[in-house]
Amino acid sequence: MIRAEPDFYARIRYPLRYTTILRAHARNYDLDPALLAAVIYQESRFRPDARSRSGAIGLMQLLPDTARGIAIRTGGTRFQTSDLYNPELNVRYGCWYLRHLLDRYEDEEVALAAYNAGQTNVDRWRREGVGIQFAETRHYVKRVRELKQIYRRSYPAQLRDTG
């Protein structure tokens, strides 16, 4: 359940940064800007220097091997792990990956589960006919969907597609 809180409070608690980058790549990859903001907040709290224990890097917390594959698929030839600290590249690669997952699974919840737990796990769960098996991933999906609504309500002008 999303708590009703004044928009000014939500904007303090849930900052929105890199709006130009976020909106441009959301438009380019046909993503809901509020969903993208929610993923970024949940992954890194909008900190471009974020690094997880698993080695995921940047705003959208991409693993270097995943990003390397995205770079190759999108025409890049000179990927370096340090590229993931660049907000523009990180968001571009993250948007490509999120769009890929949404297209593959045709379901936002399943795509978010794959973003968090990996496609291999999600594919296995689907083959076995079971739901999300990791409590952390269930929480992640629920939280991102809550954050999407918070961002949509708190930043309507900043997240509006102007293209």
- Segment 110-129 mean pLDDT: 98
Q: What is the pLDDT of residues 31-41, one digit of tens each?
A: 999 999 999 99
Question: Which pLDDT score, from 0 to 100, does residue 7 have?
Answer: 79
Task: Give me the active site residues, please.
Answer: 43
The residue with tokens 């708590």 is: 3
Cα gap 60→33, rounded to integer Å: 14
Judge whether 123 and 113 are in contact, CB under 8 Å: no
Above 60 in pLDDT, residue 49?
Answer: yes
Cα gap 25→30, rounded to integer Å: 8
Label residues 80-100 b or e (16+ Cβ within 10 Å = b): eeebbeebebbbbbbbbbbbb
Query: Could you tell me the domains of the chain?
Result: 7-154 (1.10.530.10)
